[in-house]
Every structure is written in structure tokens, then in C-alpha cells.
Amino acid sequence: MLPWVQSGGGDIGIGYWQRRAIQLKMSYEHILIDAEDGVGIVTLNRPDKLNAMNRQLSSELHDAVKRMEANEAIGCIVITGAGRS
């Protein structure tokens, strides 16, 4: 779960930060996404291929960055890789 999701508790309903987090919540095969203190983090997750780009990874990366860019709670985006690369 993304760290800025704040539980409203009870029957208050979905809060602002929960709505913003839901906009980012997607299922990807080759990347991991998270956010902390206004920083979006995209981790390329193909360590067995040294995070080499392929069409699917490129498409997922593009989608995740666009979603983070549209999210007012995110001020910058860090792209990193899993494993040794």
C-alpha cells in the first residue's frame, strides 16, 4: 500500500489521499511503484535481464510516469532498478 493512504475509519468514506493513491494503484509485470513524502518511485523489476528495456517495460514505465505526473500529491519521480543494474 502506498504510504500516503490515510484511513478515515468508520463510515466516513474514501478520503482525498485514498482517491489519489487509487489513481496510481495498477498491476504491472515489469515495474514496481510506490510513493513516499511526495516522491514517486518507479523500480524497473527485471533483474534477471539487468533491467533491459523491452516493449512491455517501456509501456508500463510510460503509464506509471504519466499517472504519477497527474497526481498532485507527487512532486518528483525517481526511477531506479532492482538488482545489480
Residue 31 burial class via C-beta count within 10 angstroms: exposed 0-12, middle 13-18, buried 19 and up: buried
The strand pairing partners of 42, in sequence order, are 33, 79
Residue spans of the domains in the chain: they are: 16-81
Rounded to whole angstroms, the Cα distance separating 26 from 65 reads: 12
User: CATH number of the domain at 16-81, please?
Assistant: 3.30.300.220
Rounded to whole angstroms, the Cα distance separating 71 from 45 reads: 22
Q: Please report which helix (H) or strand (E) contains residue 31, including its range.
A: strand 31-36
Rounded to whole angstroms, the Cα distance separating 68 from 54 reads: 21
Model pTM? 0.70
Average pLDDT by consecutive 10-residue portion of the chain (85 residues)? 42 46 70 93 96 96 95 95 88
pLDDT digit string (tens) for 54-73? 999 999 999 999 999 999 99
